[in-house]
Amino acid sequence: MKAAFINQHGEPEALQYGDLPDPVAGPGEVVVDIFSASVNAADWKSRSGGYGQMKFPYVLGRDFSGVVSAVGPSVDDLRSGDEVFAVCETGQEGAYAEKIAIKAAIVAKKPTSLSHVQAAAVALTGLTALSAIEDTLKLKRGETILIQGGAGGVAGFAIQLAKHIGARVITTASAVNHAYVRSLGADEVIDYNVCDFTKVVSNCDAVFDTVGGDVAQRCFAVLKPGGRAAFIASGTQAPQATRGDVTSLRPPVRRARGFLERIAQLVLQEAVRPPEIKLYRLSQAAEAHRVSESRHFRGKLVFQVR
Ligand SMILES: NC(=O)c1ccc[n+]([C@@H]2O[C@H](COP(=O)([O-])OP(=O)(O)OC[C@H]3O[C@@H](n4cnc5c(N)ncnc54)[C@H](OP(=O)(O)O)[C@@H]3O)[C@@H](O)[C@H]2O)c1
């Protein structure tokens, strides 16, 4: 199969495009012929060595959409020909390829109303947003939430989900992305380049931070007493709260078919629509990584694999 992979950690140019052996479905696994795979911020962190050493050649990529082409022993709920989408097991990658072997239990049927490109775009972003907004923050109708980094993939899903729940959504984005985040449902948009959000936002019930660094640290200031904040760009632990009357949380982002089925349900209900998508071929992986690593683009970058 063709794949985009690395033989060493490094800059985007470390990504190579070439042939690797086809995977085989083990017990409980299926092989999926990948049609689309998405680029996540984790991919360039992984490529550059931020997640430690790995065995080379190493295929990056955490989510994808495709068609089941082989079924391993003990799999009785998926068949060859099923259109599916999935997020790889935590700590595993391999979606920048024409084929992947994956545990069947974490694969879900793709909604027919989504193309493979769109399904790949909402897999890990949707899973992360669901884990943060529904399971971790337990956002409720009538509450106010600040979502940091509104134009990004996870935040774009989270804005729509929060609106669907019935919350009021404030978000941060560069001016060029304001119309986009408003189109996703944001009620109030702050241009973080010209305005310190802590000066204009206060009394929030919840914050969802997808930016990290100094932005994450300052999020606690906008919460009301008893407020809660969830962080996905500050490593595996939530940052220490700077106040004693709020809660700092790290969504677990567990892999399970149920989360993907919830994404499909939200799409079918038209509560969530796919983000703006920029397409690449696998042979252009280095270029896609340069854009992802710039951290200033809108929506999702997706590989059209076949
Ligand atoms: N399992 C997990 O825990 C998990 C899963 C998925 C993602 N993540 C993490 O979550 C983070 C977000 O990922 P993502 O893929 O959604 O997006 P991303 O690629 O990290 O972010 C892109 C967006 O960030 C915005 N942005 C950059 N700096 C900003 C700032 N200071 N304030 C507000 N917005 C800012 C940009 O908007 P503008 O162009 O408008 O500036 C751009 O649209 C990443 O760190 C990623 O590693 C974690």
pLDDT averaged over the chain?
A: 97
Indicate if ligand 1 lies below 6 Å from the C-beta of 248. no
Distance CA 279, CA 238 (A): 33
Ligand 1 probe mutation, 278, 296, 298, most atoms within 8 A of CB: 296
Strand partners, 172: 190
User: Which atom in ligand 1 lies closest to the alpha carbon of residue 128?
Assistant: 5
Q: How sure is the predictor about 52, in pLDDT bands with cuts at 50, 70 and 90? A: confident
Distance CA 107, CA 158 (A): 22
Answer yes or no: are the C-beta atoms of 134 and 161 closer than 8 Å.
yes
User: Which atom in ligand 1 lies closest to the alpha carbon of residue 150?
Assistant: 34
Q: Where are the alpha helices (DSSP H) in 104-232?
A: 116-130, 153-165, 178-183, 197-200, 213-218
Dist. CA 233 → ligand 1 center (Å): 7
CB proximity list for 93: less than 8 A, separation 6 or greater: 43, 46, 58, 59, 60, 61, 62
Task: Express each pLDDT in 180-194 by its tens digit.
Answer: 999 999 999 999 999
Indicate if ligand 1 lies below 6 Å from the C-beta of 254. no
For 13, 90, 115, 193, 203, the CA distances from 288, given in Å and listed in that order, are 11, 22, 20, 24, 38
Q: What pLDDT sits at residue 117? A: 98
Task: Express each pLDDT in 244-270 by its tens digit.
Answer: 999 999 999 999 999 999 999 999 999
Strands 58-59, 2-6: pairing is antiparallel
Task: Express each pLDDT in 111-151 by its tens digit.
Answer: 999 999 999 999 999 999 999 999 999 999 999 999 999 99
Q: Is residue 53 scored above 90 in pLDDT?
A: no
- Nearest Cα residue to atom 34 of ligand 1: 149
**Residue 278 exposed, middle or buried by CB count within 10 Å (0-12, 13-18, 19+):** middle
Indicate if ligand 1 lies below 6 Å from the C-beta of 234. no
Distance CA 48, CA 162 (A): 33
- The residue assigned the tokens 């430690």 is 52
Label residues 85-95 b or e (16+ Cβ within 10 Å = b).
Answer: bbbbeeeebbb
Token duo for residue 224: 């009301």
Task: Express each pLDDT in 75-104 by its tens digit.
Answer: 999 999 999 999 999 989 999 999 999 999
Q: How sure is the predictor about 200, in pLDDT bands with cuts at 50, 70 and 90? A: very high
Q: Is residue 11 scored above 90 in pLDDT?
A: yes
Q: What pLDDT sits at residue 72? A: 98
